[in-house]
Structure 1
């Protein structure tokens, strides 16, 4: 009888482990949104960089994975007349705008996404 109980406990543990592994694959994991599905990419309405007259490069603290990078890009690409590309390894985001960049609005969008905007390193 004791052997049956031990086998049942092992089977339950294995099934639970498989369930958690499959759930992690399907719903993402890691630092941001561990229990959420991976963020879908939001594309800017206009992806041609030559249409944008202004460029701003800003540091972003808190990006630790590609999902974080996508969250920052999505927050900025959802803004009107804005195109953004985040660089995870450099911890920076490059933002192109058609009108003069509203740095305060860009900083707020990054904060709203859950990250900390740092100093602006380039502005054209």
Structure 2
């Protein structure tokens, strides 16, 4: 009798966990940016791409939504002399800069944002 009660309790817990997981997946709130938090875009002072002679294209792994991409883009665009655009669909960043950037700078910004960096 005790075994049946324990099995029923385990089954109920499993069903509740599955229902919660399905709700989370349907709502799209399965990433770091849960809820309806609005992420303000960092404004670039100089949007003229001709003023940025250096260009790097890098792969970024671990983004699960466009808010993730916006967080990374903002962290790049906070740096003076950088104009970055993140393409969430291709998991890629195009980084324009006014001076040559070391790979370590790019890697640090991505890692500090909580994502993975790949050289392309």
Q: Distance in 2 between matches of 1:99 and 1:116?
A: 24
Runs of 5+ consecutive residues of structure 2 not aligned to the other structure: 1-26
In structure 2, the partner of 1:45 is: 45
Question: Is the 2:56–2:95 Cα contact (8 Å) retained in structure 1?
Answer: yes
1:80 matches 2:80: yes
Runs of 5+ consecutive residues of structure 1 not aligned to the other structure: 1-23
Runs of 4+ in structure 1 deviating by more than 4 angstroms, as ranges, are none
Structure 1 residue 106, shift from structure 2 partner: 1.4
Pairing 1:1-124 to 2, within 5 Å after superposition: 29-35=29-35, 37-119=37-119, 121=120
Q: CA RMSD for the aligned pairs?
A: 1.8
Question: Is the 1:43–1:77 Cα contact (8 Å) retained in structure 2?
Answer: yes
Q: What secondary structure does 2:76 align onto?
A: helix
* TM-score normalised over the length of structure 1: 0.69
Q: Distance in 2 between matches of 1:95 and 1:78?
A: 12
* TM-score normalised over the length of structure 2: 0.71
1:76-98 deviations in whole A, cap 9, x for unaligned? 00111000001111110000000
Q: Distance in 1 between matches of 2:67 and 2:96?
A: 21
Structure 1 residue 29, shift from structure 2 partner: 4.0
Structure 1 residue 39, shift from structure 2 partner: 1.5
1:48-69 deviations in whole A, cap 9, x for unaligned? 1110000000000011211011
